A and B are shown apart, each in its own frame.
Chain A
Amino acid sequence: MTIRRPANGREFLAGAAAAIGVIIIVVAITMSGRSVALLNVSYDPTRELFEEYNQAFAAYWREATGQAVSIRQSHGGSGAQARAVVDGLEADIVTLALEVDVNLLAEAGLMDANWRDLLPNRSAPYTSTIVFVVRAGNPKNIRDWDDLVRDDVAVVTPNPKTSGGARWNFLAAWAYAESRSGGDEAVTLDFVRRLYANVAVLDTGARGSTQTFAQRGTGDVLIAWENEAHLTVGEFGAGAFEIVMPSQSILAEPPVAVVTRYADARSTATVAEAYVEYLYSAVGQRIAAAHFFRPSDPDLVDPEALAAFPAIQMTTIDHFGGWAEAQPRFFGDGAIFDQIYLPAP
């Protein structure tokens, strides 16, 4: 039994759909007409750094040009952030963890393939390295990588399959074992295998690992970014944690770049370029150092601020033939990490 022609039901549906369409279009138009501002798409550990830098840059830019600039920030996992930019998140600037993530943008045609050569120090205004965080008083007496394979030590580090930072941890351990064994791959492999056998919790990201170690109280040593280590000690007080510098580590060079295609389309290229260049200025370098990233030009920073960065022997990613070679060799499916890390049954 029908009350009216069935077509009425359909008309109603069509009308409703049209109403929603109109709402969406109206919102879309309002959004597309929004005022122009810079968008910096970054990764998680730089949140605090850029909060401060953005204010400094805005002040500098207003003084230099009289133009007011507001900077928006987006933070997330480095790989996921790169993916979002490729999918249309219109970043004027990216400040990511890994070169491969920015290469992803170049491959999508968002910037020139030679982006790494456009800024000093291979487009890395600050660098970082991998250090250890131990509990106050260093009860397990952890001094170097060798102590991490001891039977009585529980290690916390994120999963290299999901975390960019964790790959640096892995490669730092590998480089140490390699130089100790004189390049014997079997011995190196065994060392790293024993280290990962000691891992108590393998979180998906660096921040998660830090929280596991510092807030959940799991493990004896956290392998962490240098800036993350200082944040941990700073937040919980030196009475709770200590930083241990291993004898050898790895130099991480988180790159910055202007996403030229989006910046050109939004007519923000000039200010976007100034934004990344200002990172190399004395102000930019000082802010980086204050957030425990190693300045690329230490001469611009007070010697006191540099005391936090003791010189240690550092391997670079080039030692592994760059990320293009290291990624498939160590972290591809069935590659070295998959072979050595077998979750406890």
Chain B
Amino acid sequence: MSAEKAFIPPDRQRPTEAPPAARAVSLRTRSPVTEAVWVRALLISVGLAFVVVFLLLPLVFVFVQAFKLGFGEYLAQLSEPYAQSAIRLTLLVTAIAVPANLIFGIAAAWAIAKYEFKGKAFLITLIDLPFSVSPVIAGLVYVLLFGAQGYFGPWLAANDIQIIFAVPGIVLATIFVTFPFVARELIPLMQEQGTGDEEAALSLGASGFRTFLFVTLPNVKWALLYGVLLCNARAMGEFGAVSVLSGRIQGFTNTMPLQIEAASKEFSRTAEVAAFSLASLLALLALVTLALKTFLEWRYADRLSSAGQSH
């Protein structure tokens, strides 16, 4: 009993001390589920101020800086050879990393949600690993594995295969950090859906692959798209892991985030515009992703949360 009493919040412990008249007034003027007007105003303005100062202002600043010297200079900086190659490289890396994780993500989610096997919990933990490991560590691990001093270094060198400080390393690092996005989006949904639909399809004579293509996949398509969008945004923006093993060769292994950093270190007004014009492209991409995501949520909210059950 005494333990229970200790959990009562201090302000509720002595209700009798408040004057009965005051309590009656407060009860009459506001409903028990809402706060006083000034409390609401304060909370809303604090929340709003936070969003404006920490999210909106920096975003606006990116665009202000990018267009500081006019739209012509903005375009000129974006069409610089180094900027162009950074954009191309980022697109190439994303074009490899996102489909790779799409396949991995579907396979992993499928295995986890639809089958029982030993080590399942371990596999789920493993999929989450990139979320908990710092990207810099991820990059360093690849350097230790594939670097000239690393385990596979001598063999790779002997066979003239360049992995780190080249595109394959950047792709590997990007796949690593974006690994969980698709799988994490699919697993809860597929688990919730269970295997009922598939069993029905199979009992009607559909092949395994046909079942996957026409039953499993349509059930999760919106969650899948959602996962791919998140994966894509992160793949394009990844800095930490990529910076460790890119080698920073201008025009060859600098991705957009790396080129932004390089330009921001350069010491001129045009370099600043160069940095922010690339940053604005990334920001624009993030905004488009966000808009798509919001649209998906708004349009297909029911199917995103429990797509399979409506069948």
Decide whether A and B are members of one complex.
yes
Binding site for B on A (CB under 8 A): 1-4, 6, 8-10, 12-13, 16, 19-20, 23-24, 27-29, 31-32, 39, 41, 44, 47-48, 72-76, 84, 86-90, 108, 207, 210, 228, 231-232, 235
Chain B nearest CB from A164 CB (Å) reads: 15
Residues of A contacting B114 with CB < 8 Å?
Answer: 2-3, 9
CA distance A61 to B265 in the complex (A): 30
Excluding A24-B163, A210-B267, 17 further A-B contacts by CB distance (< 8 Å) are A3-B211, A9-B115, A12-B110, A16-B107, A19-B103, A20-B103, A23-B100, A27-B168, A31-B162, A31-B167, A32-B160, A74-B249, A75-B248, A76-B248, A84-B248, A88-B150, A90-B165
Does B86 touch A at the CB level, under 8 Å? no
Q: In the complex, are the beta carbons of A86 and B199 less than 8 A apart?
A: no
CA distance A9 to B198 in the complex (A): 14
Instruction: Find B248's partner among A6, A10, A74 (CB 8 Å cutoff).
Output: A74
CA distance A74 to B249 in the complex (A): 4
Q: In the complex, are the beta carbons of A32 and B161 less than 8 A apart?
A: yes
**Can you identify 26 A-B contacts, CB atoms within 8 angstroms?**
A1-B199, A2-B195, A3-B202, A3-B208, A9-B111, A9-B117, A12-B107, A12-B110, A13-B108, A16-B107, A20-B103, A20-B104, A23-B100, A28-B161, A31-B162, A31-B166, A39-B249, A75-B248, A76-B248, A84-B247, A86-B148, A87-B164, A88-B149, A88-B153, A235-B268, A235-B269
Chain A nearest CB from B202 CB (Å) reads: 6
Residues of A contacting B67 with CB < 8 Å?
Answer: none
Q: In the complex, are the beta carbons of B116 and A2 less than 8 A apart?
A: yes
Does B175 touch A at the CB level, under 8 Å? yes
Residues of A contacting B167 with CB < 8 Å?
Answer: 27, 31
Does B63 touch A at the CB level, under 8 Å? no
CA distance A76 to B258 in the complex (A): 11
Q: B residues 25-78 with Cβ under 8 Å of A?
A: none
Chain A binding surface SS class:
helix
Q: Take A72-B250, A73-B250, A89-B165 as given contacts and tell me if A1 and B267 are in contact as well, using a CB distance cutoff of 8 Å.
A: no
Chain B nearest CB from A61 CB (Å) reads: 19
Chain B nearest CB from A259 CB (Å) reads: 11
CA distance A90 to B172 in the complex (A): 19
Residues of A contacting B111 with CB < 8 Å?
Answer: 9-10, 12-13
Instruction: Find A87's partner among B143, B175, B269 (CB 8 Å cutoff).
Output: B143
Binding site for A on B (CB under 8 A): 96, 100, 103-104, 107-108, 110-111, 114-117, 143, 146-150, 153, 157, 160-168, 171-172, 175, 195, 198-199, 202, 208, 211, 247-252, 262, 265-269
The 4 closest A-B pairs by CB, nearest first: A88-B148, A87-B147, A9-B111, A89-B165
Chain A nearest CB from B92 CB (Å) reads: 9
CA distance A3 to B266 in the complex (A): 59
Q: In the complex, are the beta carbons of A23 and B107 less than 8 A apart?
A: no
Chain A nearest CB from B308 CB (Å) reads: 14
Instruction: Find B168's partner among A28, A44, A108 (CB 8 Å cutoff).
Output: A28
